[in-house]
Chains A and B, each alone.
Chain A
Amino acid sequence: MDIIYSAKPLIAILVSLFVIPILISSRSDNTREAWTFVAAILKFIIIASMAPLVLKGAQIQFTLFEVMPHLAIKLKVDSFGLLFALVSSPLWIITSVYSIGYMRTLKEHSQTRYYCYFAMSLSATIGVAFSANLLTLYLFYEMLSFATYPLVTHHQDQEARSSGRKYLLYILGSSIAFVLPAMLFIYIKTGTFEFVPQGFMAGHFTHGTLLVLLLMFVFGFAKAGIMPFHSWLPAAMVAPTPVSALLHAVAVVKVGVFCVARVITGVFGTKLLLSTDLNTVVCYIASFTIIAASLIALSQDGLKRRLAFSTIGQLSYIVLGVALLSPLAVTGGILHIAMHAFGKITLFFCAGAIFAASGIKNISDMVGIGKRMPITMTCFLIGSLSVIGLPPCGGFISKWYLVLGTLEAGKMFFLFVLLVSSLLNAAYFLPIVYRAFFCTDEESMFENTVNEVPTWCLVPLCITASISVILFFFPQPFLKLAHMTAQTLIGG
């Protein structure tokens, strides 16, 4: 395997941090937002420029500082990290477009602060994606927690305050209480943190200790939303919708899942977990979360809350896929990071568009809204199909691999879980769409005229919806990257 030393990953991370002083000092809203675009596009270009090398099987590395003897802040771009970065960075561009529409339509306050912390969050997200060892990962993970706090509490009212508390308590509390001691314990025993394909834990720990450590990581990365550490996510929905869309459907939550996946594959390693059968424990925890979250989602009336519980369930798909540790399941799980991202962000954009255009938050008030906002609701349908996992949407491909993966691993129980939850997904999404379009005029709560949101909001959600469809027909380069990851990590 080729290893290339280059500062590109560092620049990719820092580009959005460097733009912050410019954002603060810019005199008009237009220049501020123009600079956000410059940063977002630059970031995407830099990340995309690394793709050809990584697709050829090379790895890009960069070491920053040796903060402790033999332990450095180190960046590494491999197929897994690149996939995640390639999902988040273009979505930042699209979300920025959407933010402009949304924030201006609602005349939100403190917009400069909002764009600054958004940029910071993206730096942290890409940092997590490109971390080469556990310490670097932890550093960016915590940075993300703090950068997103002002975004969650953007409205600065009592509700935002209590949600912000819950958010930090879960995310910061679990990382300090579980991840940090687990990391230290591993470091003392093994003396290394470097992610390597088969992990570095083998031979150092007893069975019981391994189980405890594994659970500390799985629950400690609370951003992954695994039950019972999930309730920060519905609470975080008080944030402005673009935040919920990019951060709480893509960046933050996927960072959590990404961390869990990295630890399972790069720290514990496939062989060790399969030989001790500990991965099955994680599979059961994930399965429980999938089913429970889907059931709770059914009962939610707030659209964003329903989406949040749906996200919790979908995140556990990824965890389940990775924890099954069969090549196809891992491919499916990792691919689901990308597929779910495009589908779910579309749904959030739609929810935000509905709120911006009509001020409606609850599903029960949305009867007949399809006649007023036909484009938005069509995109909502596409997003739903993708999340449920039906063709012709990208979500189908990742679920297909997940299903094949359960068969490959020979664990029929999890196949059953996947099928049941798909039915539940359909049950909580399709009625919304159905009632939006098909209702009698008496039932309809809206006048029969088309009244869409401003173009700034509409265009992004159309783009993400189209991407969801396109990914069904052309799933590259994500599929290739997911395959490569599964190959290097599992060796299948």
Chain B
Amino acid sequence: MENLIHMIGAKFNYIAYIILMMIGLYALIAKNNLVKKIIGMSIFQTSIILFYVSTAYKTGKAIPIVEHGHGAHSVIHATDYINPLPHVLMLTAIVVSVATLGVALALAIKVYRQYGTLEEDDINSQIRIQAGK
């Protein structure tokens, strides 16, 4: 039991991202409304961003901004700073997820114009009626 608590304490960031991810996945799969699905997708992507950023963190170290970097006389140790690379990567990932969100919403608008609803059940029943004709 103590081990478990210890593990949760040490790796809470992992647990948090997995919980978020599952929430997103649940919305993506189980929700009937297309916009809710899109929200789920966003949560899903954000959880991964969170995961990346949290892995960069080192307890008690400085943020990776080196003041007077060029003129400084003291030696810079990489271990003294939080790893900046995941943050940089996530900038790209955020751009990607925003773009995905944009495309998804655009498609949702197109679907709405066509069927007059965003509820998947309604759309499917309309499709079935059309196919039956």
Direct contact of A and B (CB under 8 A): no
Show the binding face of A for B, using Cβ within 8 Å.
none
Show the binding face of B for A, using Cβ within 8 Å.
none
